[in-house]
Amino acid sequence: MTARRLTGAPVAQRLRAEAEDNVTTLRERGVVPGLAVVVATDNEATLWYVRSIARAADKAGVHCRVVDLGAGAGADQIASTLTLLSADEDIHGIILQTPLPPGVAVDELVAHISAAKDVDGANPLSLGRLTVGQRAFAPATARAVVEILEHYEVPLAGRHVSVVGRSAVVGKPLLQLLLQRDATVTVCHSRSRPLERYTSEAEVVVAAVGRPGLLTGDHVQEGAVVIDVGTNVLDNGDLVGDVEPASTAEVASALTPVPGGVGTVTTALLVLHTTQAALQAGEELASAQPSGSGASA
């Protein structure tokens, strides 16, 4: 068997079209959706990634403001920036980009992103709301996995999905999205040994650890669908996932490529979430005011 390549491009294209529809609706109401990306690093790969988000946003008609605090920024400065942006009416989505300066803990800071603008689902309140089924943005990478599975019509209800990786940005929120869709989910990690005990009977396997070669053809059953969330930069500059593509493609029925898979969809989701946040902000403003009154606040 040679696995089908589940590329992210057609999924991202559909999400971009949805974002553009939202932007049209917003412009009719006189609103330009705004996304703020807070950066505090001089890491070139990170800055390149942030520029790619800004380009994707601009292309969809979403204004992107990159707030570069520099590699010497302190926790207080980052926290107050997030608080100001949370109150800024021109900004509808906020992303705090990692890595942060040494000694600055991202966990403590994300609580300063208002849940309504938390388009990358970083605030623990967003994760808690997602868990109990209330309205919240899921981390874009976790949602990208589900968008790909749904686009390619991979059934989830009643199926067994094995998620390798228990991070708060991918594994744990992805688990919630999969349970919402009635999958039975196993969460594996570095202490799950042998790993194939937990992956080899699943219909869908998601690798989200950040280690090249973590998953091979020996870990999955014939016909499994494999989603590769890993983005590892090798010494030679190559970008590879967590899955060994050659051996896995011989056993699996479908596999996402890296690059060109999950990452492509993630960026489109950040833009889409920002337009959704702007629409929701408008609805809340409208419902908070007596009918017939203007939208100026």
Minimal distance, residue 131 CB to its own copies, in Å: 5
Amino acid at 255: L
3-state secondary structure 137-153: CCCHHHHHHHHHHHHCC
Measured CA to CA, the distance from residue 114 to residue 260 in angstroms comes to 31
According to CB under 8 A, which one of 166, 174, 228, 230 is a site residue for its own copies?
166
Strand partners, 62: none
Looking at the Cβ atoms of 103 and 191, the one nearer to its own copies is 191
Q: Are 208 and 170 in contact (CB under 8 A)?
A: yes
Looking at the Cβ atoms of 159 and 273, the one nearer to its own copies is 159
Q: Which of residues 121-160 bind its own copies (CB under 8 A)?
A: 123-129, 131-134, 157-158, 160
User: In which region does residue 61 sit, left (phi positive, over 0), alpha (psi from -120 to 50) or beta (all else)?
Assistant: left
Taking the CA atoms of the chain, what radius of gyration do you get in angstroms?
A: 20
According to CB under 8 A, which one of 28, 102, 191, 287 is a site residue for its own copies?
191
Measured CA to CA, the distance from residue 145 to residue 204 in angstroms comes to 11
The residues near 106 (Cβ < 8 Å, ≥ 6 apart) are 96, 98, 100, 122
Q: Determine, following the binding rule CB under 8 A, whether residue 220 of this chain makes contact with its own copies.
A: no
Minimal distance, residue 139 CB to its own copies, in Å: 11
According to CB under 8 A, which one of 30, 153, 193, 234 is a site residue for its own copies?
193
User: Which stretches of 114-185 are DSSP H helices?
Assistant: 124-132, 140-151, 171-180
Q: Determine, following the binding rule CB under 8 A, whether residue 119 of this chain makes contact with its own copies.
A: no
Q: Are 183 and 199 in contact (CB under 8 A)?
A: no
Q: Which of residues 78-117 bind its own copies (CB under 8 A)?
A: 107
- Which residues participate in the annotated binding site for NADP(+)? 165-167, 231
Looking at the Cβ atoms of 139 and 257, the one nearer to its own copies is 139
Question: What is the pattern of x (binds its own copies, CB under 8 A) and - over residues 25-64?
Answer: ----------------------------------------
According to CB under 8 A, which one of 36, 56, 175, 281 is a site residue for its own copies?
175
Token pair listed for 223: 């016909």
Q: Which residues bind its own copies (CB under 8 A)?
A: 107, 123-129, 131-134, 157-158, 160, 166, 168, 172, 175-176, 179, 182, 184-189, 191-193, 197-198
